[in-house]
Amino acid sequence: MNDIEFIKAFESGEFSPAEFNHRAHIRLAWAYLDRFDEETAISKTCNAIKNFDGLHGDGTKYHKTLTVASVKVVHHFRQKSNASTFDGFVTEHPRLISSFKDLLLQHYGETVFISPKSKTTYIEPDLLPFT
Protein backbone atom coordinates (compact mmCIF):
# COMPACT_ATOMS: atom_id res chain seq x y z
CA MET A 1 0.00 0.00 0.00
CA ASN A 2 1.21 3.51 -0.72
CA ASP A 3 1.67 6.14 2.00
CA ILE A 4 -1.76 7.71 1.50
CA GLU A 5 -3.45 4.31 1.81
CA PHE A 6 -1.28 3.56 4.84
CA ILE A 7 -2.37 6.77 6.58
CA LYS A 8 -6.04 6.16 5.74
CA ALA A 9 -5.91 2.57 7.00
CA PHE A 10 -4.14 3.65 10.16
CA GLU A 11 -6.44 6.58 10.92
CA SER A 12 -9.59 4.54 10.26
CA GLY A 13 -8.40 1.69 12.46
CA GLU A 14 -8.36 -0.76 9.54
CA PHE A 15 -4.59 -1.24 9.82
CA SER A 16 -3.87 -4.53 11.55
CA PRO A 17 -2.70 -4.08 15.15
CA ALA A 18 -0.40 -7.08 14.62
CA GLU A 19 1.42 -5.08 11.93
CA PHE A 20 1.87 -1.93 14.00
CA ASN A 21 5.51 -2.45 14.85
CA HIS A 22 8.48 -0.09 15.06
CA ARG A 23 8.85 0.11 11.27
CA ALA A 24 5.18 1.08 10.89
CA HIS A 25 5.61 3.73 13.60
CA ILE A 26 8.54 5.24 11.69
CA ARG A 27 6.61 4.99 8.42
CA LEU A 28 3.67 6.88 9.91
CA ALA A 29 6.00 9.71 10.92
CA TRP A 30 7.60 9.63 7.44
CA ALA A 31 4.21 9.79 5.70
CA TYR A 32 2.97 12.73 7.77
CA LEU A 33 6.29 14.57 7.37
CA ASP A 34 6.00 14.07 3.62
CA ARG A 35 2.74 16.04 3.65
CA PHE A 36 3.03 18.46 6.56
CA ASP A 37 5.50 20.60 8.49
CA GLU A 38 7.15 19.09 11.56
CA GLU A 39 4.72 20.46 14.16
CA THR A 40 1.66 19.35 12.21
CA ALA A 41 3.24 15.94 11.58
CA ILE A 42 3.89 15.60 15.32
CA SER A 43 0.30 16.47 16.15
CA LYS A 44 -1.12 14.11 13.52
CA THR A 45 1.18 11.25 14.52
CA CYS A 46 0.34 11.66 18.20
CA ASN A 47 -3.40 11.82 17.53
CA ALA A 48 -3.35 8.87 15.14
CA ILE A 49 -1.40 6.61 17.51
CA LYS A 50 -3.48 7.63 20.52
CA ASN A 51 -6.66 6.88 18.55
CA PHE A 52 -5.24 3.57 17.28
CA ASP A 53 -4.38 2.56 20.85
CA GLY A 54 -7.92 3.38 21.92
CA LEU A 55 -9.42 1.36 19.06
CA HIS A 56 -7.19 -1.70 19.33
CA GLY A 57 -5.80 -1.61 22.84
CA ASP A 58 -6.70 -0.47 26.29
CA GLY A 59 -5.44 3.07 25.73
CA THR A 60 -2.31 2.63 27.83
CA LYS A 61 0.36 2.01 25.18
CA TYR A 62 0.55 5.52 23.74
CA HIS A 63 3.69 7.33 24.90
CA LYS A 64 3.82 11.08 24.17
CA THR A 65 7.56 11.66 24.61
CA LEU A 66 8.52 8.61 22.59
CA THR A 67 6.12 9.56 19.78
CA VAL A 68 7.21 13.20 19.56
CA ALA A 69 10.89 12.24 19.76
CA SER A 70 10.37 9.67 17.01
CA VAL A 71 8.89 12.23 14.65
CA LYS A 72 11.72 14.64 15.44
CA VAL A 73 14.33 11.98 14.69
CA VAL A 74 12.63 11.03 11.42
CA HIS A 75 12.42 14.72 10.51
CA HIS A 76 16.15 15.14 11.18
CA PHE A 77 17.06 12.24 8.89
CA ARG A 78 14.54 13.32 6.20
CA GLN A 79 16.38 16.63 5.92
CA LYS A 80 19.53 14.68 4.98
CA SER A 81 17.76 12.25 2.67
CA ASN A 82 17.44 12.08 -1.09
CA ALA A 83 14.88 9.27 -0.90
CA SER A 84 11.44 9.70 -2.41
CA THR A 85 9.99 6.55 -0.80
CA PHE A 86 9.91 5.19 2.71
CA ASP A 87 11.78 2.04 1.68
CA GLY A 88 14.47 4.18 0.09
CA PHE A 89 14.62 6.33 3.21
CA VAL A 90 15.21 3.41 5.59
CA THR A 91 17.73 1.94 3.15
CA GLU A 92 19.65 5.23 3.36
CA HIS A 93 19.28 5.37 7.14
CA PRO A 94 19.05 1.78 8.43
CA ARG A 95 19.76 2.86 12.02
CA LEU A 96 16.20 4.18 12.16
CA ILE A 97 15.10 0.56 12.12
CA SER A 98 18.04 -1.36 13.57
CA SER A 99 19.38 1.03 16.24
CA PHE A 100 16.56 3.44 17.02
CA LYS A 101 16.90 3.11 20.78
CA ASP A 102 20.59 4.04 20.50
CA LEU A 103 19.62 7.14 18.49
CA LEU A 104 17.17 8.22 21.21
CA LEU A 105 19.67 7.54 23.97
CA GLN A 106 21.99 10.12 22.41
CA HIS A 107 19.35 12.68 23.39
CA TYR A 108 17.73 11.19 26.48
CA GLY A 109 18.87 9.49 29.64
CA GLU A 110 17.24 6.07 30.04
CA THR A 111 15.09 7.12 32.97
CA VAL A 112 13.14 9.71 30.96
CA PHE A 113 11.14 7.11 29.04
CA ILE A 114 10.13 5.17 32.15
CA SER A 115 8.81 8.28 33.86
CA PRO A 116 4.99 8.20 34.11
CA LYS A 117 4.94 11.90 33.14
CA SER A 118 6.68 11.13 29.82
CA LYS A 119 3.74 8.99 28.71
CA THR A 120 1.32 11.92 28.76
CA THR A 121 3.56 15.00 28.41
CA TYR A 122 6.38 15.64 25.98
CA ILE A 123 9.68 15.92 27.82
CA GLU A 124 12.52 17.71 26.06
CA PRO A 125 15.82 15.83 25.72
CA ASP A 126 17.98 15.98 28.84
CA LEU A 127 21.29 15.15 27.11
CA LEU A 128 21.34 16.60 23.60
CA PRO A 129 18.61 18.84 22.18
CA PHE A 130 17.06 18.09 18.81
CA THR A 131 18.22 20.55 16.17
pTM: 0.94
Residue 75: partners with Cβ closer than 8 Å, 6 or more residues away: 29, 33, 38, 41
Per-residue pLDDT tens digits for 55-77: 998 878 899 999 999 999 999 99
pLDDT of residue 36: 98
Mean pLDDT of residues grouped by 10 in the chain (131 residues)? Answer: 96 94 97 98 97 89 95 96 96 97 95 94 96 78
pLDDT of residue 104: 96
Q: Where are the domains of the chain?
A: 3-120
pLDDT of residue 90: 97
User: What is the 3 state secondary structure string of the chain?
Assistant: CCHHHHHHHHHHCCCCHHHCCHHHHHHHHHHHHHHCCHHHHHHHHHHHHHHHHHHHCCCCCCCHHHHHHHHHHHHHHHHCCCCCCHHHHHHHCCHHHHCHHHHHHCCCCHHHHHCHHHHHCCCCCCCCCCC
pLDDT of residue 60: 84
